[in-house]
Amino acid sequence: MSKKLVVIVATFGRTEQVARLLAQLERQTRLPDAVIISAPDANHVPSNIACRFPVSSVFGKTGLPAQRNIALDAAGDRFDIITFFDDDFIPADDYLDGVSRAFMQQPDWAVVTGNVLKDGATTAGFTWEEGIQALREAGTATEARGVDQLSAYGCNMSIRAAFIGGLRFDERLVLYGWQEDVDFTSRLRARGRVVSLQSIRGVHLGVKSGRVSGVRFGYSQVANPIYLIRKGSVPLPIGLKLMSKNLLANLARSLWPESYIDRRGRLRGNLLALSHVARGRVEPEYVLEI
């Protein structure tokens, strides 16, 4: 028996991207049974949505973890699979079919994350046309074994709904979230395997609009890993490696920053968070005061 699948898209200020993603979902060889768009208000959602699958919108708080939680509550127990896509992620046409088959064939899998062919989050980003071209050039996917992971990548992750229960994203990781996907999916490892699957593919454009300021993001780069280490959802070596990697990158590039990254702002945020941590203050939500 096929499993019911819902796609959840949390968005802020990217109506054009959401419209394009919905059009891309129309191309899926296995259509979603529903799509839930979570936004602060109706101004962030495209008007005149017409798709071959039901599309609903939910409104409330601003911030990735909170918006995803509102959508999870709206989904309730109506679906077997919850797929989260960033609004600037382009799934291959057979993406959802691959997810459905994976969960049907592997009853112990809790989370499946796909193969990101190109990731604009680490570069200046890609246009929609460049993302489609990358998918076209990738050709036909070959079957691959799942590889166990500590956590999934939030731009594209699918979860067996029965394993979620009352688990929710940590809303102390405010605004952009930063590591909210790691926290949420690593906690699911107690209920099933967290797996990456190379045959399920897509492109993350890394659109820069709608993101938080450099100082705020830099603060989160330090405060959030420390918070999650103390919480127990991220191992100490991994959290410290992630934090130090970003701190060193911001320090090294602050003299000659990339045009698309506010390295100096991030470094200021890093140092502010370190000063707070040194005084025993670990508060991810402090970015709201910056």
Instruction: Give per-residue pLDDT as tens, 175-229.
Output: 887 899 999 999 999 999 999 999 999 999 988 765 668 899 999 999 999 999 9
Mean pLDDT score, 77-94: 96
Torsion angle of C-alpha atoms 79, 188, 74, 116, degrees rounded to 10 = -80
Task: Count the Cβ atoms, other than its own, within 10 Å of residue 115.
Answer: 17
Query: Can you state the percent helix, strand and coil of the chain, rounding each to 5?
Result: 40, 20, 40
Does residue 91 surpass a pLDDT of 90?
Answer: yes
Mean pLDDT score, 85-113: 96
Name residue 149's amino acid.
Answer: Q
Angle ∠(84,215,119) on CA atoms, nearest 5? 35
Question: What's the pLDDT at 145?
Answer: 83
What is the C-alpha separation between 126 and 132, in angstroms, rounded?
Answer: 10
Could you tell me if residue 177 is left (phi over 0), alpha (psi between -120 and 50 degrees) or otherwise beta? left
Q: Are 243 and 221 in contact (CB under 8 A)?
A: yes
The pair of three-digit structure tokens given for residue 160, joined into one six-digit string: 């067996």
The superfamily (CATH) of domain 5-204 is Spore Coat Polysaccharide Biosynthesis Protein SpsA; Chain A (3.90.550.10)
pTM of the model: 0.93
Mean pLDDT score, 232-260: 91
DSSP states of 102-126: HHHH-TTEEEEEEEEEEEGGGSS--
What is the C-alpha separation between 59 and 39, in angstroms, rounded?
Answer: 5
Task: Count the Cβ atoms, other than its own, within 10 Å of residue 274.
Answer: 16
Strands (E), the chain: 5-10, 34-39, 55-59, 81-85, 89-91, 109-119, 147-148, 156-160, 193-204
Largest CA distance in the chain: 58
Could you tell me if residue 32 is left (phi over 0), alpha (psi between -120 and 50 degrees) or otherwise beta? beta
What are the distances in angstroms from CA 36 to CA 32, 72, 151, 211, 221? 10, 9, 23, 21, 29
DSSP at 1: -
The pair of three-digit structure tokens given for residue 277, joined into one six-digit string: 């941590």
Q: Mean pLDDT for the chain?
A: 92
Domains of the chain, residue spans: 5-204, 214-280
Q: Are 288 and 172 in contact (CB under 8 A)?
A: no
pLDDT in tens, 118-145: 999 888 889 999 999 999 998 887 777 8
pLDDT band at 32 (very low <50, low <70, confident <90, very high): very high
DSSP at 151: S
Torsions phi, psi for 36 (to 5 deg): -115, 120
What is the C-alpha separation between 156 and 133, in angstroms, rounded?
Answer: 19
Look at strands 109-119 and 193-204 and give their pairing.
parallel
What is the C-alpha separation between 65 and 96, in angstroms, rounded?
Answer: 23
